Amino acid sequence: MTETQKIRTLTGDVAPSDLGRTLIHEHLCVDWGEMLGRPKVLDFEFDDMVQKMVAKMEELHAAGISAMVECTPIGCGRYIDLFKEVALRGPVKIIASTGFFHESWCPIHPIGRALDLDALVDLFSREITEGMGDTLVKAGIIKCATGEGRISENEEKMLRASARAHKATGCPIITHTTNGMGLEQLDIFESEGVSPEEVIVSHIGFEEDPLDYSEQMLKRGANISFDRIGMKIFFDDDHWVRVIGNAINKGYVNQVMMSHDAAVFVYGLEEASGENVFDDYTYISRVFLPKLQREAGVTDEQISIMMEDNPQRVLTFRD
């Protein structure tokens, strides 16, 4: 494995070809406590939660998925010791995140607010090359996010820090969007010398005109994640068949990925995930992919491109 052919998981670097089918945007848990100005509330026992999460990873692996990106950034319930134990005991390779969340749903984490741009670049870079927090467990992706309708000054700072840390380390970037602002994210990244081809933009498909918007993103060259598939509180499967089928029919299969945005445990801001936590990491494999093939004419080869080839490419560290 050469220096440029690595994907960084919680248990060490792997060759891209070792990744297998991958979910590009998931969570093990989310805890909004630090951002809401109170201590975290750990209403679970560590070993019990490990066993519960490992069981979910075993179900996922049995459904044909061998890797996932854990997109929980700093201060949102990113329990590194918990995640590492799940990765060690379970059969699924897990890629963990550095970075910070947006400030529409809750305040940006106080550390993120306090640090200037250069200090943020240093923090993200150290979490990638040395270890997250005070651990030696390294992040394999940079997470950043924007809220609804505008990009705030703090959110722009996070996007620019993410771009610069990406350029310094080669670590991939994944973003959260809230009903749009993906095009504006790409503008900021390009102003920092990061091309859309180097970025994964999540939660595409929630915009007022999702077909047109997703096409605009794809024409720019961005890699996009159609996720929250299976969460019927947002959209039913027909919506995702339509937008994903459209992207494939327009020739953009090499830029498309899918995920659930699921979690085993959520505490804090229930509106972000609905009244009930969606924890079925197997839904895409069991239910949605057969429906996508049946109703949109998607081929086995196209499924492999979206679930294997594209994640392997975008999660690989660059020179």
- pLDDT score recorded for residue 36: 67
Residues in a beta bridge with 226: 258
pLDDT of 41 reads 62
CB contact set of 61 (below 8 Å; sequence gap of 6+) = 90, 91, 92
Crossing angle of helices 153-169/182-191, nearest 10°? 50
Pick the closest to residue 28 from 90, 75, 71 (CA basis): 71
Determine, yes or no, domain membership for 67.
yes
Residue 28 lies in a domain: yes
How much is the pTM?
0.95
Q: Do the domain assignments include residue 2?
A: no
37 in a domain, yes or no? Answer: yes
- Please list the residues that pair with 253 across neighbouring strands: none
What's the confidence (pLDDT) of residue 265? 87
Quick check: is 104 in a domain?
yes
- Total domains in the chain come to 1
What local confidence, expressed as pLDDT, does residue 125 receive? Answer: 98
Instruction: Write the CATH number for 194.
Output: 3.20.20.140
Instruction: For 271, list phi and psi in degrees, rounded to 5.
Output: -65, -20
Residue 1 lies in a domain: no
Please check whether residue 310 lies inside any domain of the structure: yes
CA angle 221, 144, 141 (to 5 degrees): 80
Which tokens in the block code for residue 114? 């306090």
The Cα 288–Cα 235 span in angstroms is: 13
User: pLDDT tens digits, the chain, 319 residues: what are they?
Assistant: 445 699 999 999 999 999 999 999 999 998 877 666 666 666 789 999 999 999 999 999 999 999 999 999 998 889 999 999 999 999 999 999 999 999 877 778 888 989 999 999 999 999 999 999 999 999 999 999 999 999 999 999 999 999 999 999 999 999 999 999 999 999 999 999 999 999 999 999 999 999 999 999 999 999 999 999 999 989 999 999 999 999 999 999 999 999 999 999 887 655 454 456 899 999 999 999 999 999 999 999 999 999 999 999 999 999 7
* Structural domain for 295, as ranges: 7-314
Indicate whether 61 belongs to any domain.
yes
CA nearest to 1, candidates 195, 307, 9: 9
What contacts 238, CB < 8 A, 6 or more positions away?
none
